[in-house]
């Protein structure tokens, strides 16, 4: 690949900063970097490949000559500036929910549906972090036998609410009483079984994202039963998920473990008798999703239970976006 002009919108946020690190670490061919943020960040500089690059204010003319635009600045910004960047000739990889369910926009996890990038019209959507972690973990099972239903409970870290979420948790742990927390209840020493807004069906928006996005990414029938319960936990970074899938056919646990050990983006940690299983501390900063606790429920020959841990800022956001860009420009 030749060198490209790359813009990162929302560069000063937690995911934007991670995107820069991933671009550098994976040697993505960046010939020119354009860091973009709001007026509040005007005058700041970011470090990239040993150089200090001034942050520019995001505007309608920010994407002239840009080949790749990575967006992590929120849905309203993506809806306004994503089409502008695309019309200027850039390939947009958007980390917000703005375009995920648009039938004209591919929703891509490279380990699961890399072929979908070929159908883009200038914009490609990065899925929700919890969805990414889940589909990477269950795809090997789906390849053994089609998945017919999914039940998932998530244990989502404070970092899911961005830098302000991590900051709030750390302040609470140090004894501060916050009046401007991003969480509806105190998180330190607590669990909060609501992430995002409640919907008419009594599920939250976060939970329904996992449902709709999984169906789209894995090309499951619309009638596939999927139930998600999303819980915020007092962990700084990295989400965990407990998942049960039921497949059309019975598959052996040995075949599941073998498929997972060979699957891209997965690391198997499955020796619970030795206390070897995924944990947030172990998975933080790692590209792979970690999987363990692989087991079969009582009297359920077509069901498989697994437990996942994945760094949602990394694989759940920044890394997945850069992997999408690698697919696009490689092709």
Flag whether pLDDT at 130 surpasses 70.
yes
Looking at residue 168, what is its pLDDT? Answer: 97
Exactly one of 142, 230, 239, 240 is catalytic; name it.
239
- Which position has the token pair 């309203």? 76
Express each pLDDT in 136-189 by its tens digit. Answer: 999 999 999 999 999 999 999 999 998 899 999 999 999 999 999 999 999 999
Q: What percent of the chain has pLDDT over 90?
A: 96
CATH topology of domain 4-127+317-330: Rossmann fold (3.40.50)
DSSP per-residue string spanning 2-29: --EEEEEETTTSHHHHHHHHHHHHTT--
Per-residue pLDDT averaged across 17-21, rounded?
Answer: 96
Exactly one of 120, 129, 142, 240 is catalytic; name it.
129
SS3 75: helix
239 is catalytic: yes
Per-residue pLDDT averaged across 75-85, rounded?
Answer: 97
8 A C-beta contact, residue 169 and residue 246: no
Q: How confident is the model at residue 1 (pLDDT cuts 50, 70, 90)?
A: low
Per-residue pLDDT averaged across 79-102, rounded?
Answer: 97
Looking at residue 144, what is its pLDDT? Answer: 98
Strand segments, DSSP code E, in the chain are: 4-9, 30-37, 45-48, 51-54, 56-57, 68-71, 91-94, 123-125, 147-156, 226-232, 239-247, 266-268, 289-295, 303-310
Q: How confident is the model at residue 330 (pLDDT cuts 50, 70, 90)?
A: confident
8 A C-beta contact, residue 58 and residue 73: yes
Rounded distance between C-alpha atoms, residue 183 and residue 181, angstroms? 5
Q: What percent of the chain has pLDDT over 70?
A: 99
Looking at residue 242, what is its pLDDT? Answer: 98
Rounded distance between C-alpha atoms, residue 320 and residue 128, angstroms? 10
230 is catalytic: no
Q: Which CATH class is domain 130-312?
A: alpha beta
Rounded distance between C-alpha atoms, residue 311 and residue 240, angstroms? 9
Rounded distance between C-alpha atoms, residue 325 and residue 90, angstroms? 11
Looking at residue 303, what is its pLDDT? Answer: 98
Flag whether pLDDT at 125 surpasses 60.
yes
Flag whether pLDDT at 28 surpasses 60.
yes
Flag whether pLDDT at 2 surpasses 80.
no
What average pLDDT does the chain have? Answer: 96
Express each pLDDT in 311-321 by its tens digit. Answer: 999 999 999 99
Looking at residue 323, what is its pLDDT? Answer: 98
Domain coordinates of the chain in residue numbers?
4-127+317-330, 130-312
Centroid of chain to Cα 97: 11
| pTM beyond 0.85, yes or no | yes
Per-residue pLDDT averaged across 36-58, rounded?
Answer: 94
- The tokens for 88 are 């200027």
Express each pLDDT in 208-218 by its tens digit. Answer: 999 999 999 99
């Amino acid at each position: 690949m030749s060198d490209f002009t790359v813009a990162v919108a929302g560069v000063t946020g937690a995911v934007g900063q991670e995107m820069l690190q991933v671009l550098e670490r994976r040697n993505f061919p960046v010939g020119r970097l354009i860091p973009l943020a709001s007026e509040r960040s005007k005058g700041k500089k970011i470090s990239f490949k040993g150089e200090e690059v001034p942050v520019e204010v995001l505007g309608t003319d920010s994407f002239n000559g840009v080949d790749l635009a990575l967006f992590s600045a929120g849905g309203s910004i993506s809806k306004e500036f994503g089409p502008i960047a695309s019309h200027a000739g850039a390939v947009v990889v958007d980390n917000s929910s703005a375009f995920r369910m648009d039938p004209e926009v591919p929703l891509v996890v490279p380990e699961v549906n890399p072929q979908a990038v070929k159908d883009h019209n200038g914009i490609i959507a990065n899925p929700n972090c919890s969805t990414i972690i889940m589909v990477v973990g269950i795809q090997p099972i789906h390849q053994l036998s089609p998945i017919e239903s999914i039940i998932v409970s998530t244990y989502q870290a404070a970092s899911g609410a961005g830098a302000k979420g991590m900051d709030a948790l750390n302040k609470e742990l140090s004894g501060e009483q916050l009046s401007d927390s991003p969480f509806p209840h105190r998180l330190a020493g607590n669990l909060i079984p609501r992430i995002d807004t409640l919907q008419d069906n009594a599920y939250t928006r976060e939970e329904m994202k996992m449902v709709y996005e999984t169906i789209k990414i894995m090309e499951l029938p619309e009638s596939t039963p999927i139930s998600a319960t999303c819980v915020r936990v007092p962990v700084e970074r990295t989400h965990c998920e407990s998942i049960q899938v039921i497949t059309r056919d019975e598959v052996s646990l040995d075949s599941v473990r073998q498929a997972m050990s060979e699957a891209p983006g997965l690391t198997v940690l499955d020796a619970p008798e030795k206390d070897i299983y995924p944990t947030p501390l172990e998975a933080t900063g790692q590209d792979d999703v970690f999987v363990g606790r692989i087991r079969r429920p009582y009297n359920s020959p077509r069901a498989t239970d697994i437990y996942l841990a994945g760094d949602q800022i990394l694989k759940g956001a920044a890394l997945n976006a850069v992997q999408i860009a690698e697919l696009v420009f490689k092709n």
